[in-house]
Structure 1
Amino acid sequence: MRMPFAVPMLAVLTVAGCAVDTTSPARAAERFHAAIAGRQEDSACAMLARRTAEKLPGPGQTCADALREVKLGPGGRSTAVSVWGEEAQVRLTGDTLFLHRFSDGWRIRAAGCRPVRDLPYECEVED
Protein backbone atom coordinates (compact mmCIF):
# COMPACT_ATOMS: atom_id res chain seq x y z
CA MET A 1 0.00 0.00 0.00
CA ARG A 2 1.54 3.33 -1.00
CA MET A 3 0.31 6.45 0.72
CA PRO A 4 1.82 9.88 1.30
CA PHE A 5 3.52 10.48 4.63
CA ALA A 6 3.70 14.09 5.75
CA VAL A 7 6.97 15.21 7.31
CA PRO A 8 7.14 18.30 9.51
CA MET A 9 10.31 20.05 8.45
CA LEU A 10 10.44 23.00 10.87
CA ALA A 11 13.14 22.97 13.52
CA VAL A 12 14.79 19.86 12.18
CA LEU A 13 18.11 18.87 13.71
CA THR A 14 20.28 16.90 11.32
CA VAL A 15 23.06 14.63 12.54
CA ALA A 16 25.10 12.77 9.94
CA GLY A 17 28.09 10.52 10.36
CA CYS A 18 27.96 10.55 14.18
CA ALA A 19 28.24 7.52 16.42
CA VAL A 20 24.86 6.61 17.84
CA ASP A 21 23.89 4.50 20.82
CA THR A 22 21.51 1.55 20.83
CA THR A 23 18.52 3.70 21.84
CA SER A 24 18.87 6.04 18.86
CA PRO A 25 16.46 6.24 15.92
CA ALA A 26 19.30 5.28 13.55
CA ARG A 27 20.03 2.11 15.51
CA ALA A 28 16.31 1.24 15.58
CA ALA A 29 16.05 1.71 11.80
CA GLU A 30 19.16 -0.40 11.16
CA ARG A 31 17.90 -3.18 13.48
CA PHE A 32 14.53 -3.18 11.68
CA HIS A 33 16.20 -3.68 8.31
CA ALA A 34 18.57 -6.29 9.75
CA ALA A 35 15.53 -8.26 10.95
CA ILE A 36 13.93 -7.99 7.50
CA ALA A 37 17.16 -9.08 5.80
CA GLY A 38 17.45 -12.01 8.23
CA ARG A 39 13.89 -13.09 7.45
CA GLN A 40 12.88 -12.38 11.06
CA GLU A 41 9.62 -10.65 10.21
CA ASP A 42 8.10 -11.31 13.64
CA SER A 43 11.02 -9.44 15.23
CA ALA A 44 10.64 -6.63 12.68
CA CYS A 45 6.93 -6.37 13.50
CA ALA A 46 7.82 -5.98 17.18
CA MET A 47 9.85 -2.89 16.22
CA LEU A 48 6.89 -1.19 14.54
CA ALA A 49 4.67 1.36 16.25
CA ARG A 50 1.45 -0.35 17.35
CA ARG A 51 -0.74 1.53 14.83
CA THR A 52 1.65 0.67 12.02
CA ALA A 53 1.72 -3.02 12.97
CA GLU A 54 -2.08 -3.10 13.20
CA LYS A 55 -2.63 -1.32 9.87
CA LEU A 56 -0.08 -3.32 7.86
CA PRO A 57 -1.74 -6.76 7.54
CA GLY A 58 -4.45 -7.40 5.01
CA PRO A 59 -7.45 -9.62 5.73
CA GLY A 60 -6.32 -13.02 6.99
CA GLN A 61 -2.67 -11.95 7.32
CA THR A 62 -0.34 -11.48 10.23
CA CYS A 63 2.03 -8.53 10.41
CA ALA A 64 4.91 -10.88 9.53
CA ASP A 65 3.02 -12.19 6.47
CA ALA A 66 2.47 -8.63 5.29
CA LEU A 67 6.14 -7.66 5.78
CA ARG A 68 7.18 -10.63 3.63
CA GLU A 69 5.15 -9.12 0.76
CA VAL A 70 6.27 -5.49 1.12
CA LYS A 71 9.05 -4.28 -1.13
CA LEU A 72 11.46 -2.30 1.04
CA GLY A 73 14.82 -0.94 0.02
CA PRO A 74 17.93 -2.81 1.15
CA GLY A 75 18.40 -0.73 4.30
CA GLY A 76 22.09 -0.35 5.06
CA ARG A 77 23.86 2.09 7.32
CA SER A 78 22.37 5.39 8.39
CA THR A 79 23.54 8.37 6.37
CA ALA A 80 21.46 11.09 8.07
CA VAL A 81 19.22 11.40 11.09
CA SER A 82 16.75 14.25 11.63
CA VAL A 83 15.04 14.54 15.02
CA TRP A 84 12.31 16.96 16.00
CA GLY A 85 10.81 16.34 19.42
CA GLU A 86 9.54 12.75 19.60
CA GLU A 87 9.69 12.24 15.81
CA ALA A 88 12.64 11.24 13.65
CA GLN A 89 13.57 10.59 10.05
CA VAL A 90 16.40 8.16 9.35
CA ARG A 91 17.97 7.94 5.93
CA LEU A 92 19.75 4.67 5.32
CA THR A 93 21.80 3.95 2.22
CA GLY A 94 18.82 2.03 0.77
CA ASP A 95 15.69 3.35 2.55
CA THR A 96 14.15 6.23 4.46
CA LEU A 97 12.18 5.55 7.66
CA PHE A 98 10.12 7.65 10.07
CA LEU A 99 10.10 6.83 13.77
CA HIS A 100 8.43 7.95 16.99
CA ARG A 101 9.94 7.82 20.48
CA PHE A 102 7.66 5.89 22.83
CA SER A 103 8.29 5.19 26.51
CA ASP A 104 10.09 1.95 25.56
CA GLY A 105 12.23 3.52 22.81
CA TRP A 106 12.16 4.38 19.12
CA ARG A 107 9.65 2.49 16.96
CA ILE A 108 9.14 2.51 13.19
CA ARG A 109 6.09 4.47 11.98
CA ALA A 110 6.91 4.29 8.27
CA ALA A 111 9.44 2.48 6.06
CA GLY A 112 10.13 2.11 2.38
CA CYS A 113 9.66 5.86 1.97
CA ARG A 114 10.57 7.88 -1.09
CA PRO A 115 10.26 11.63 -1.56
CA VAL A 116 7.71 12.80 -4.09
CA ARG A 117 8.37 16.12 -5.77
CA ASP A 118 6.48 18.92 -3.96
CA LEU A 119 4.50 16.34 -1.94
CA PRO A 120 4.98 14.33 1.26
CA TYR A 121 6.87 11.04 1.19
CA GLU A 122 5.29 7.92 -0.24
CA CYS A 123 5.82 4.91 2.02
CA GLU A 124 5.31 1.18 1.57
CA VAL A 125 4.68 0.68 5.30
CA GLU A 126 3.04 3.37 7.45
CA ASP A 127 0.45 4.09 10.09
Structure 2
Amino acid sequence: MRLLAGVLLTALAAGCAADTAGAARAAERFTAALAAGQAEVACGLLARKTAEKLPGPGQSCAAALRELRLRAGGPVTEVSVWGDEAQVRLEDDTLFLRHFGDGWRVVAAGCVPVRDLPYECEVES
Protein backbone atom coordinates (compact mmCIF):
# COMPACT_ATOMS: atom_id res chain seq x y z
CA MET A 1 0.00 0.00 0.00
CA ARG A 2 2.84 2.42 0.82
CA LEU A 3 4.48 1.68 -2.52
CA LEU A 4 1.24 2.45 -4.37
CA ALA A 5 0.84 5.70 -2.45
CA GLY A 6 4.46 6.62 -3.28
CA VAL A 7 3.92 5.86 -6.96
CA LEU A 8 0.72 7.96 -6.99
CA LEU A 9 2.45 10.89 -5.30
CA THR A 10 5.36 10.70 -7.75
CA ALA A 11 2.96 10.60 -10.72
CA LEU A 12 0.97 13.54 -9.36
CA ALA A 13 4.11 15.56 -8.75
CA ALA A 14 5.36 14.85 -12.29
CA GLY A 15 1.99 15.88 -13.76
CA CYS A 16 2.02 19.13 -11.82
CA ALA A 17 5.56 20.20 -12.69
CA ALA A 18 5.79 23.95 -13.12
CA ASP A 19 6.14 25.08 -16.74
CA THR A 20 8.85 27.67 -16.12
CA ALA A 21 10.31 27.25 -19.61
CA GLY A 22 6.98 27.97 -21.33
CA ALA A 23 6.38 31.08 -19.25
CA ALA A 24 9.93 32.30 -19.90
CA ARG A 25 9.55 31.76 -23.67
CA ALA A 26 6.26 33.70 -23.74
CA ALA A 27 7.85 36.61 -21.84
CA GLU A 28 10.85 36.59 -24.17
CA ARG A 29 8.60 36.60 -27.27
CA PHE A 30 6.63 39.55 -25.86
CA THR A 31 9.69 41.65 -25.04
CA ALA A 32 11.41 40.70 -28.32
CA ALA A 33 8.35 41.89 -30.25
CA LEU A 34 8.41 45.18 -28.37
CA ALA A 35 12.16 45.61 -28.98
CA ALA A 36 11.65 44.94 -32.69
CA GLY A 37 8.87 47.54 -32.91
CA GLN A 38 6.28 44.82 -33.58
CA ALA A 39 3.53 46.11 -31.30
CA GLU A 40 0.86 44.13 -33.18
CA VAL A 41 2.73 40.89 -32.43
CA ALA A 42 3.14 41.93 -28.78
CA CYS A 43 -0.62 42.60 -28.55
CA GLY A 44 -1.24 39.07 -29.81
CA LEU A 45 0.75 37.74 -26.83
CA LEU A 46 -1.37 39.59 -24.26
CA ALA A 47 -4.30 37.96 -22.47
CA ARG A 48 -7.57 39.01 -24.11
CA LYS A 49 -8.74 41.10 -21.12
CA THR A 50 -5.36 42.83 -20.91
CA ALA A 51 -5.37 43.69 -24.63
CA GLU A 52 -8.95 44.98 -24.38
CA LYS A 53 -8.20 47.19 -21.36
CA LEU A 54 -5.01 48.69 -22.78
CA PRO A 55 -6.22 51.04 -25.54
CA GLY A 56 -7.68 54.42 -24.87
CA PRO A 57 -10.78 55.67 -26.71
CA GLY A 58 -10.36 55.28 -30.47
CA GLN A 59 -6.92 53.69 -30.04
CA SER A 60 -5.68 50.24 -31.00
CA CYS A 61 -3.77 47.94 -28.66
CA ALA A 62 -0.64 48.34 -30.82
CA ALA A 63 -0.87 52.14 -30.74
CA ALA A 64 -1.25 52.06 -26.96
CA LEU A 65 1.81 49.81 -26.57
CA ARG A 66 3.86 52.08 -28.83
CA GLU A 67 2.80 55.08 -26.77
CA LEU A 68 3.83 53.42 -23.49
CA ARG A 69 7.37 52.73 -24.74
CA LEU A 70 7.85 49.72 -22.47
CA ARG A 71 11.40 48.63 -21.73
CA ALA A 72 12.76 45.79 -23.85
CA GLY A 73 13.20 43.67 -20.74
CA GLY A 74 16.53 41.98 -21.33
CA PRO A 75 17.32 38.37 -20.54
CA VAL A 76 15.19 36.32 -18.14
CA THR A 77 16.71 36.24 -14.65
CA GLU A 78 14.04 34.35 -12.68
CA VAL A 79 10.76 32.51 -13.28
CA SER A 80 8.21 31.57 -10.61
CA VAL A 81 5.12 29.53 -11.48
CA TRP A 82 2.12 28.88 -9.24
CA GLY A 83 -0.40 26.70 -11.05
CA ASP A 84 -1.59 28.72 -14.06
CA GLU A 85 0.05 31.98 -12.89
CA ALA A 86 3.67 33.02 -13.43
CA GLN A 87 6.03 35.87 -12.69
CA VAL A 88 8.95 36.31 -15.07
CA ARG A 89 11.69 38.67 -13.99
CA LEU A 90 13.84 40.04 -16.73
CA GLU A 91 16.93 42.18 -16.44
CA ASP A 92 14.90 45.40 -16.94
CA ASP A 93 11.26 44.41 -16.37
CA THR A 94 8.89 42.07 -14.55
CA LEU A 95 5.98 40.40 -16.34
CA PHE A 96 3.04 38.44 -14.99
CA LEU A 97 1.54 35.70 -17.12
CA ARG A 98 -1.41 33.30 -17.01
CA HIS A 99 -1.66 29.93 -18.73
CA PHE A 100 -4.70 29.58 -20.98
CA GLY A 101 -5.73 26.72 -23.28
CA ASP A 102 -3.52 28.13 -26.05
CA GLY A 103 -0.47 28.73 -23.85
CA TRP A 104 1.05 31.42 -21.67
CA ARG A 105 -0.24 34.99 -22.14
CA VAL A 106 1.02 38.24 -20.62
CA VAL A 107 -1.47 39.74 -18.15
CA ALA A 108 0.81 42.51 -16.83
CA ALA A 109 4.00 44.17 -18.08
CA GLY A 110 6.16 47.13 -17.24
CA CYS A 111 5.90 46.16 -13.58
CA VAL A 112 8.02 47.59 -10.78
CA PRO A 113 7.84 46.60 -7.12
CA VAL A 114 6.31 49.08 -4.72
CA ARG A 115 7.63 48.87 -1.17
CA ASP A 116 5.29 46.78 1.03
CA LEU A 117 2.68 46.71 -1.76
CA PRO A 118 2.03 44.69 -4.91
CA TYR A 119 3.75 45.61 -8.17
CA GLU A 120 2.69 48.66 -10.12
CA CYS A 121 2.34 47.82 -13.81
CA GLU A 122 2.00 49.98 -16.91
CA VAL A 123 -0.01 47.25 -18.67
CA GLU A 124 -2.45 45.09 -16.71
CA SER A 125 -5.90 43.57 -16.88
Q: For this structure pair, what is the TM-score category when the shorter chain's length is used for normalisation?
A: 0.7 to 0.9
Identity %: 68
**Match of residue 90 from structure 1:** 88
After the TM superposition, list the runs of 4 or more consecutive aligned residues in structure 1 that deviate by more than 4 angstroms. none
User: 1:78-117 residue pairs with structure 2 within 5 A?
Assistant: 78-117=76-115
Q: In the TM superposition, what is the alpha-carbon distance from 1:71 to its structure 2 partner?
A: 3.3
Matched ranges for 1:1-127 at <5 A: 20=21, 24-127=22-125
Structure ranking higher in helix proportion: 2
User: Higher relative CO (CA 8 A, sep ≥ 6), structure 1 or 2?
Assistant: 1
CA distances 1:18-69 after superposition (whole Å, capped 9, x unpaired): xx3xxx1111001101001111111000000000000000001000000001
Give the number of the structure whose alpha-carbon radius of gyration is greater. 2
RMSD: 1.2
Per-residue deviation, 1:76: 1.1
Larger proportion of strand: 1
TM-score between the two structures when normalised by the length of structure 1: 0.81
User: How many residue pairs get matched?
Assistant: 107
Q: TM-score, normalised by structure 2?
A: 0.82
Structure 1, unpaired ranges of 5+: 1-12
Distance 1:83 1:44 in 2: 21
